[in-house]
Amino acid sequence: MAGLPFSPRRPFSSPCFLLCFLLGFVAGLFPFAHRHLHLDPHLPLFPVPDGGGGSSPTTPPGPPAPPAPVQLHPPPPDHAPTLIVVTPTRARPLQAYYLHRLAHTLRLVRPPLLWLVVERGAATRDTAALLRGCGLMYRHLVAAPSQRGAGRRNAALDHVEQHRIHGIVYFADEDNVYSLDLFHQLRTIRSFGTWPVAMLGVGKSKALLEGPVCEDSRVIGWHTHATNRRTRRFHASASGFAFNSSMLWDADKRAHQAWNYIRMPDTAKHGFLETTFIEQLVEDETHMEGIPTGCSKIMNFNIHLEDKHLVYPKGWQMTENLDDQRHTTRLPIYRAAYASGRMKVTERDIFGISSQRKFIARHLEEVEEASHQPRHPEPPFSLAARI
């Protein structure tokens, strides 16, 4: 009987197998490639040129490149100057609306930007709370009460000069409308820049221009519409020019050295406040820069949309008198103030017009009757929410 064929298989060696397994496991824990090795995942999409004139095979197309992000305006260079936006404000019914609208516009501007909000009389809690939530770098300043905004603008200029804040100073009134291109153009100003401003005429039926007429960046004339202000030297509005802050304390930056203290004079005649201030910075149009090229764009609009019948009592505190607000058809703020007993409201304080005395007296009688009736609890009222 023939025996079983010989098997070439070697006997199993467990120590050798375990040794090889451990060596492979340990080797897998240590990467041998360079940790900073960069591999390009994209293949060239262009065909390799063939010197013999024959057809060259093209490489298969790779994955499509992601679309470039849309930019509202080009990014400023690394040495972009700081925009110092000065906004005078005061307590009135549409103050919260105006400040919110301007804050949303400034948030779209690339930093660095400093917002100087100057309040008349005293700093109110409502304005401070609004600024804390605006998401901007700001400083809340206070100026003494004045008839015009010269005192508040001068308080901001004092702050800039005292702290030597370098940048481009721009007076942005809260009730104007601004485009983002304006703030981009402000960073191109070297010393003093100006541009035309659009505004509504009497009756808000047509638009008017006030500002420079430019040839490239040279100012060669002025747009003007007010016949009683044609004797002004420079026909620029408060929101139609900007300047380098170093001109306030460095006389070498100015075209002439006739002034050592550059501020807006309170004694200037009505309509001549801006030109009197500009005369302290520049000597003539040759020291001005018209922006943009040719002054070909309207970048901000002076549109007063506030209702002339809106009233706001002196000393009214929105955060303290909200519980006295009443839902009435006419004059809700004055009814609440009169019924609360905290303020004394007279006919002259409300309108000051003799033709409406009967109308006011009738409403004051209704308030007097309502003050003797029991009050019902009402939900909290916010003036900003109603606006």
State the catalytic residues. 274
Which amino acids are annotated as binding site, given as ranges?
175
- For 71-104, b/e burial (b = at least 16 CB within 10 A) is eeeeebeeebbbbbbbbbbbbebbbbbbbbbbbe
Instruction: Give the Cα separation of 351 and 360 in Å (integer).
Output: 9
Amino acid sitting at position 313? P
Query: Residue 138 in contact with residue 118, Cβ under 8 Å?
Result: no
Lookup: tokens for 243: 């300047």
C-alpha pair distances (Å), 299 with each of 154, 177, 209, 239, 347 = 25, 9, 12, 10, 42
**Residue that the structure tokens 């690339």 belong to:** 110
C-alpha span between 87 and 175 (Å, rounded): 10
CA dist list (Å): 216 to 125, 168, 179, 292: 46, 21, 21, 8
381: left (phi over 0), alpha (psi -120 to 50) or beta: beta
Distance CA 198, CA 236 (A): 11
d(CA 331, CA 365): 13
Tokens of 44: 């060239």
Q: Which residues, 6 or more positions from 199, have their beta carbon under 8 angstroms from its beta carbon?
A: 207, 208, 209, 210, 237, 301, 302, 303
Distance between CA 48 and CA 58 in Å, rounded? 7
φ, ψ for residue 197, nearest 5 deg: -125, 135
**Binding site residue list for Mn(2+):** 175
Query: What is the number of alpha carbons within 13 Å of residue 381 lying toward its C-beta?
Result: 18
Closest CA to 262 of 163, 254, 119, 270: 254
Instruction: Provide, for the chain, the percentages of residues in helix, strand and coil under a 3-state DSSP scheme, each rounded to the nearest 5.
Output: 30, 15, 55
